[in-house]
Amino acid sequence: MNVTARRMSALLLLTFSAFATAAEPSWPPELRGVKNSFVTLTTPAFLEIPAAVQEAATRDGAAPFDMAKTPPTVELAFPGHLGPNAAERRLWSQWGDICVAHDGRVYFGIGDHGNDVGGDARCFIYRWDPKAKTLEQVVDMNQVVPPRDGQPAWSKVHAKIDEGADGKIYFSATLNAGDRAKFPTYGFNDNLPGGQLYQYDPATGKTTVFASLPPRRCTATSLFDRSHHTWWCNLEAGEGNALFGINLSTKQVVYQGTDGSVGFNRNFALARDGSIIFNGDDSSIMRLNATTKEILKTHSTFAISKIEVPPKAAPKGKPKNTEPTVSVSPGMRASTGESKDGFIYGTTQVTNQLFRYSVRKDELTLLGPTWLAGSYTTVMILSPDEKYLYYLPGSHGGAFKDGTPVVQYNLTTGRRKVLAFLAPAIEAAHEYVPAGTYGVKLSDDGSTLYVDFNGHPVEKYLPKHLKPIGFGLCAFAAIHIPASERQ
């Protein structure tokens, strides 16, 4: 090939490469007003009540709410460095609670809900620095657990992320559905026997395997007992759900329950003495004694959380069912730790009610719907002064239908206050719809609410395989609550 031909070939290659790069949509997309995947917004529009909410608030059984007087300032950042063809991955999403470390930096995880059984999935941990206002990818799970033929790949972080007493970050990744891990199609091996507990060291930037769960088990539910330096989780994929605890100082397993001893498995709570409060298989509240490791059934049950659900329209040509159905909660879906005065607060599964549980008295009290007539809520946080609960109802993508409200619940008055309706204002200003969360934390001083959002961009940015249903584009938000709204 002569010089002219080589130059022509190189020019064609560069042209093709540029075309290919241009043809591949960027993800996250370049949204209006967003620079370097970051934007700050303060607007009176946060305090405007959507018409759909105004109408729903008039219905029987809807919990009343107040409206904040001063809008928050919201910093919004979008996770990047998602790998090639990021826009075409199955479903970028976040599923687990986040961590505020002792230095104020915040850790959260996202994944692509990809082909986990085929070994083609992506899962990352990010860190937000509130001082520098930067978002950094710190863990790529395909670097921690290199892909191998026949080996599954982690597609999300569903359990909590926690900081140990050693200042290191602990987390566990999982599959699209962790209860499938027992199936032979998931080729776990000596290198990857099943779910693992990982340790990220902020000082070195390295992530290592800290411990392995029992083979072919995964977890979507965990919590960390800082006082006893023990990491607890629920084991999925066996012959039923079971509690599992490991001491982070000694790496010794301190407890593994009998399969089937845990009922509804998406949440359990920690008492101040280290006992675990969890759901039994009959909607009862169970307690694992911290000292004896004996499981005791309490006198309290979520079966009292019953609501009548209006009958649905019958299929065409069939008689209409005029009788309402009764919905019973299988247990707690979200919970706080035990407060100084001995209460655990949380939400119920299915019935979507707020509750208060007295650990000392073994008394369960329902506090009314989470939001309006009740909205699915998977995570909540108690303020440092223990005056308020903070939560965002509509976790599974549907929050935007109610404007993505940020709710502050006053524990003294029992009143709900909306600090902001985020979705309409952020969509109008920046073409993004924040739509639900599984991760919420407060800064140590209670002034900033950190939220890891699922969401979607406006339609013009959507790849063909994505629909505007509250998933596909993740975002991280720092919501600065005005001091006047915390008094």
C-alpha to C-alpha distance for 438 and 452, rounded to whole angstroms: 7
* Chain CA centroid to CA 464, Å: 26
C-alpha to C-alpha distance for 201 and 184, rounded to whole angstroms: 33
C-alpha to C-alpha distance for 220 and 177, rounded to whole angstroms: 9
pLDDT of residue 326: 72
Query: Cα torsion for 50, 419, 27, 127, to the nearest 10°?
Result: -170
Question: Tokens in use for 83?
Answer: 């790998």
Provide the percentage of residues in the chain whose pLDDT is more than 90. 90
φ/ψ of residue 427, rounded to 5: -65, -45
Q: Is there a contact between 135 and 128 (Cβ–Cβ < 8 Å)?
A: yes
Domain-located, residue 452? yes
Task: Dump pLDDT digits (tens) for 268-305.
Answer: 999 999 999 999 999 999 999 999 999 999 999 999 76
Task: Dump pLDDT digits (tens) for 38-63.
Answer: 999 999 999 999 999 999 999 999 99
Is residue 21 predicted with pLDDT exceeding 50?
Answer: no
pLDDT of residue 320: 65
Task: Dump pLDDT digits (tens) for 407-443.
Answer: 999 999 999 999 999 999 999 999 999 999 999 999 9
Q: Is there a contact between 432 and 454 (Cβ–Cβ < 8 Å)?
A: no
In this prediction, residues 146-152 reach a mean pLDDT of 97
Is residue 2 predicted with pLDDT exceeding 80?
Answer: no
Range with the poorest average pLDDT among 128-142, 314-328, 372-386, 472-486: 314-328
Domain-located, residue 459? yes
Domain-located, residue 442? yes
pLDDT of residue 416: 98
Name the residue among 194, 55, 45, 99 with its Cα closest to residue 450. 99
pLDDT of residue 14: 37
Is residue 306 predicted with pLDDT exceeding 90?
Answer: no
Q: Is there a contact between 87 and 66 (Cβ–Cβ < 8 Å)?
A: no
Q: How many domains does the chain have?
A: 1
Domain-located, residue 399? yes
- Tell the burial category of 320 from Cβ atoms under 10 Å away from its Cβ (0-12, 13-18, 19+): exposed
Is residue 24 predicted with pLDDT exceeding 90?
Answer: no
Strand partners, 453: 437, 475
Domain-located, residue 72? yes
Is residue 17 predicted with pLDDT exceeding 50?
Answer: no
Is residue 475 predicted with pLDDT exceeding 50?
Answer: yes
pLDDT of residue 18: 39
pLDDT of residue 182: 97
First CA to last CA across the chain, in angstroms? 78
Task: Dump pLDDT digits (tens) for 221-249.
Answer: 999 999 999 999 999 999 999 999 999 99
C-alpha to C-alpha distance for 359 and 361, rounded to whole angstroms: 6
Is residue 6 predicted with pLDDT exceeding 90?
Answer: no
Looking at the chain, how many residues does it have?
Answer: 487
Summary mean pLDDT of the chain: 93
C-alpha to C-alpha distance for 423 and 403, rounded to whole angstroms: 5
- Angle CA(129)–CA(132)–CA(135) in degrees, nearest 5? 45
Strand partners, 479: 74, 449
Domain-located, residue 125? no
Task: Dump pLDDT digits (tens) for 449-466.
Answer: 999 999 999 999 999 999
C-alpha to C-alpha distance for 133 and 39, rounded to whole angstroms: 10
pLDDT of residue 309: 64
pTM, two decimals, is 0.93
Domain-located, residue 150? no
pLDDT of residue 101: 98
The more confident residue out of 208 and 314 is 208
Strand order in the sheet with 448-457: 38-41, 73-77, 475-480, 448-457, 432-442
In this prediction, residues 129-155 reach a mean pLDDT of 98
Is residue 10 predicted with pLDDT exceeding 60?
Answer: no
Question: Cα-atom radius of gyration of the chain, to the nearest Å?
Answer: 23
Domain-located, residue 341? no
Residue-number span of the structural domain to which 83 is assigned = 26-95+384-487
